[in-house]
Structure 1
Amino acid sequence: MNVINNEVLLESRSLRNDVAGRTEVLDKVKALSLLPDGMHVTTAMVAAYFEVTVKTLESVMEDHREELDSHGLQVLTGTRLALFKGACGIQSRSRAIAVFSRRTVLNVAMLLRDSEVARQVRTYLLDVEYMARTQPVDNSVHRGPDSLDDRIDRRISRILGKTIVPMFNALIEASGEHRKELISLRDDVEKVERKLCNHHQRLRHLEHAQGPRPYTGIMASIDAMNWREFEHHVAVLLRRDGCTDVVVHGGPGDRGVDVTAVTAEGRSIVVQCKSFAPYRPVWSGELQKFLGASFVQHGADVALFVATTSFTPDARAIAETYGITLVDRAHLEKWSAGVPLAILR
């Protein structure tokens, strides 16, 4: 049972922010279908997940637009919309489409009052958060798959099998008057034990099949950042990897670069940061602009182009020819997880 009633999430934005990253609970309650890009859903898809009308969902969006925007809600128009439709195979004449990340969908679950699915998500969310905060930290060496034996379902099944069932057996042997009732209760307990054991085995199979996911949640957090937050995130990574004199310049008057720094070896470095949707690649023209700014205007030793998306083949060709280091979505994920960039070592 939850220590905190899940209705509190409806009222407390700070509490919602605290648990906003636990998007895995969505699939624990109900499978969330994603668009072909593997990252987003439309308004209609979110409404279907929560089993509410689109009008109900749009009302929540209107009342909490600023909060939802901060967690990844985007309204696509113009060129961005055309690229998105092409990438996801969407056939629509709409001039604007709202797209939700998994983080945004979880945010909606914490705002929707009249949805049983949303209520279940909130309940599960607080259960997971409570367990994470109250469970003692295990500082032992990682034990691999056998550590799954510490699951609560496994512990309960052990208690039932090794304590409760033997206790019923002793009572049955010593009792005459209530023998049938005790046998019936023992059978019920054994059924529960078997179900828990089967559940445990299914979880083991699923987790072995999925394999390790060391970077889960990193890109979802980055995708939720605005352009200014993303630039500061890159600045933090540079400082972590030994750079000094790190300055964020993004915005008007930045002379074509967003961050400047000095590497641990004393080389000057300029950085361009692009916080784009995953379906919108960085084009060659953007590399050409950065090329002039980095080496001509700033005379940099190292030119670093960091993006939350991919680069077109032409853009990669320019980077290879002129010595620009590209950090695409996959490399950004690893860099953010603690893997230093080779150029900064």
Structure 2
Amino acid sequence: MINEAALLESKALRDSVLERTEVLDRVKALSLLPDGMHVTTAMVAAYFQVGVKTIRSLVVDHRAELETNGYRVLTGTELSSFKELSGIQSHTASLALFSRRAVLNVAMLLRDSKVARQVRTYLLDMEYMARTQPVDNPVHRDADSLDDRIDQRITHILGKTVVPMFNALIETSGEHRRELIALRAGVQTVERKLRQHHARLQRLEGPREDRPLAGVMASIDAMNGREFEEYVAELLRRDGCTCVVLRGGRGDRGIDITGRTADGRHVAVQCKRFAPYLSVTSPDVQKFVGAAKVLHTSEVALFVATCPFTPDAVTVATDGGVTAVHRGLLEEWSAGAALAVLA
């Protein structure tokens, strides 16, 4: 998996993910100029929550790379034509423009920006998911199986044949005893490392029930609001809930999903697909408490969000009998952990 440090340092790695510009809007809405294709330096700075000087300094250091990905400076007649076509008002003699690719490029170069770090995190999650999706390829399966058998066979030969052979030679040889002992030690080291390598591969490739699947939150963040509600409804059904109904939309009275737990208790759910750098606030939870407990008289109330809750929101949820399913808990729930309140 590509790590963030490598992404910051390697142009080749940055180039490999520059097509994933959609990640920008999953982190934060990127406002575009009226032409629907470009943003100015000030708009880039606002997106990443840094100063304009920071972006300009970055351009100075990486101008050639950024120009390759759509950064350009308009002057003269080209600037006049752009103003006329796009309808923007600018009295400067030049105008620097960034394409979406160039903005993503900035995200992979800008170190001291919380938004840029979040973009890089999404890129890493998406890249990991793409690389680890199972491929139904019998040739690859056969090759992997063959490699595994070869590794085990080599280990078996070293342990059962080569080492005993050295033992016999050492017993009968006086002149080269020291050299043979050293060679045997080397063979035993190789055998031990092969066994450790095989055990490590089994741990890495085997199922891990103690942690969520890598990239699960990137998949959830890629959903729209309705898809997220349907996803949460499926999690409820997976955990034994019945009569699960999606009610999101006009007239939902603050409740997106209703249902019953396995033991018959009424369930009301609010789903919020917010950007991960935002937080659910106490007014959000207060409205849901009223809807869930007063209007729907639910016995189990879940506020499921793709972001954290503020401390005040957590307090309101606890006092109001609402289970706050924050981003971390949602990741665990998605990976198979059951919500205690549904048991």
TM-score range (shorter-chain normalised) is 0.5 to 0.7
CA distance change for structure 1 residues 271 and 256 in 2, over 3 Å: closer, same or farther? same
The 3-state SS of whatever aligns with 2:271 is strand
CA contact (8 A) 2:268 2:302 kept: yes
Aligned residue in 1 for 2:7: 46
Letter in 2 for 1:46: L
Matched, 1:266 2:264: yes
Q: CA deviation at 1:188?
A: 8.5
2:4 aligned residue (26, 29, 33):
33
Tell me the alpha carbon deviations over residues 73-106 of structure 1, each in whole angstroms, 9 at most, x when there is no partner: 8353479x989869xx953599998442433123
Q: Which residue number in structure 2 is paired with residue 220 of structure 1? A: 215
- 2:91 matched to 1:91? no
2:4 counterpart SS class: coil
- Assess if the C-alpha contact under 8 Å between 1:249 and 1:258 holds in 2: yes
Distance 1:235 1:287, change over 3 A: same
Q: Which runs of 5+ in 2 are unaligned?
A: 32-44, 51-109, 170-178
Q: Aligned partners of 1:337 and 1:330: how far apart in 2? A: 11
In 2: Cα distance, 1:196 partner to 1:221 partner:
37
Q: Hey, what does 2:128 align to over in structure 1?
A: 106
Q: What is the percent sequence identity of the aligned residues? A: 40
* Structure whose alpha-carbon radius of gyration is higher: 2
- 1:249 matched to 2:247? The reply is yes
For residue 340 of structure 1, report the CA deviation from its aligned partner.
3.2
Task: Determine the C-alpha separation between the residues in 1 that align with 2:193 and 2:15.
Answer: 42
Query: Within 2, Cα distance between the matches of 1:132 and 1:316?
Result: 51
What is aligned with 2:192?
Answer: 197
Q: C-alpha offsets along residues 122-162 of structure 1, whole Å, 9 cap, x if unaligned?
A: 9xxx99x7389859xxxxxxxxxxxxxx9975653232232
Question: 2: distance between equivalents of 1:83 and 1:312?
Answer: 23
Q: TM-score, normalised by structure 1?
A: 0.53
Counterpart CA distance in 1 for 2:200 and 2:258 is: 48
Q: For 1:74, which of 26, 51, 69 is the aligned residue?
A: 26
TM-score by length of 2: 0.54
Q: How many aligned positions are there?
A: 253
Correspondence 1:160 to 2:119: no
Give RMSD over aligned pairs. Answer: 5.3
Closer, same or farther in 2 for the Cα pair 1:316/1:335, shift >3 Å? same
In 2: Cα distance, 1:215 partner to 1:73 partner: 31
SS at match of 1:218: coil
Instruction: Tell me, yes or no, if structure 1 residue 306 matches structure 2 residue 304.
Output: yes
Q: Supply the AA of the counterpart residue of 2:124.
A: R
Deviations 1:230-280 (A, max 9, x none): 322321222233321101233454332221112233332110122345443
Structure 1: distance between partners of 2:48 and 2:284: 19
- Counterpart Cα distance in 2 of 1:216 and 1:199: 27
Match of 1:320 in 2: 318
Letter matched to residue 125 of structure 2: R
> Secondary structure of 1:245's partner?
strand
